[in-house]
Structure 1
């Protein structure tokens, strides 16, 4: 080995320093990339977790709305409407010759009163006759209870009322099916049609239903 050439020392030192700096920079970049990768993975996991949480919250909200809706409609679903078409002969004597009016029995099967009950036929016709009724009576029974107003203020728990339409042609009867309107114990207004479809309504007692 020959004597050290001092002129080469700075070059050697610079080379070592440069190599060290390069290695340090490489390690720094590698570390930063690793940190960035870990951060991206963490963010992805957090986004996935948040997405699952949002989905779970939405499912919970849907379930809560459904449960609230069931509770809201619980009493209204206990009101039933039985309807049939009844005929009358031309002279009022003998067997019926045509279906010329509706006979509707509204039964409150809930454990609380319903209020402001009325039956409309189509969009234009009010009930012509309204009577107290016994929920246990046959719908074909002819004898009625006391006569009531078109708008029945209260039907108590387990009680019933019979509504009859005016008499008109069979075609008019067919085209104007009955709909019962009533308010539940919380004051929510409902309508129930002959097909058993129940929904909230903005119809006010004594007035025809407005468009919704």
Structure 2
């Protein structure tokens, strides 16, 4: 009969348990790495989705910011004047008009669609307010023919009801201006 060397048995048992613990630790680390990789993929997908949602919200916000300004029109009358019409439901303020580098010299307000019948006196610029559904004619004085011959583009600047300053030309190019501080 052989006898067990009890001095070595605890060592062997400890070695088996240590090996099992090492195997368990290795499997746990592998599982955690896999979970971390899955979480990174998920977070990356969430980040892409959030970026797309943010882009959509910013586009919607820009559309809302431009809504009133897009209802303003810049053009010319048959009486050799520039015209700014406010087709929105809110007034626009601090309105001015220029042709190239030449500013208009005065303006008068009228009911939209009837540039023949000004409501009041001509006033100096910038024009304080053009109400909803109204317009203003702008005079360039004696240099109108020169402006027409040179085909200068009419460009209006105005502030909308939200306090945003805009520049709009007669070709419908709309630009938000930086805050004037």
Q: Same fold judged by TM-score > 0.5?
A: yes
Residue correspondences, number: 176
CA deviation after TM superposition for structure 1 residue 147, in Å: 4.5
* 3-state DSSP of counterpart to 1:115: strand
Give, in whole Å, the separation in 2 of the partners of 1:67 and 1:193.
23
Please say if 1:148 is aligned against 2:122. Answer: yes
1:186 correspondence with 2:167: no
Q: Deviations over 1:58-112 (max 9, x none)?
A: 222222222222222221121111247x79xxxxxxxxxxxxxx64221111111
Moved over 6 A (4+): none
Local SS of the residue matching 1:82 = strand
Q: Check conservation: 1:114, 1:156, Cα contact below 8 A.
A: yes
Q: TM-score, normalised by structure 1?
A: 0.69
Backbone CA RMSD of aligned residues? 2.9
Which string of whole-angstrom CA distances, capped at 9 and with x for unpartnered residues, describes residues 100-155 of structure 1?
xx642211111111111110122x31114533334224xxx7x4524522322111
**Unaligned runs of at least 5 residues, structure 1:** 88-101, 205-212
Q: TM-score, normalised by structure 2?
A: 0.79
Summarize the Cα distance change of 1:80–1:170 in structure 2 as closer, same or farther, 3 Å threshold: closer
For the pair shown, the structure with the greater C-alpha radius of gyration is 1
Verify the 8 A CA contact 2:90 2:161 in the aligned structure 1.
yes
Deviates more, 1:31-40 or 1:147-156: 147-156
TM-aligned CA distance change 1:117 to 1:171, over 3 Å: closer
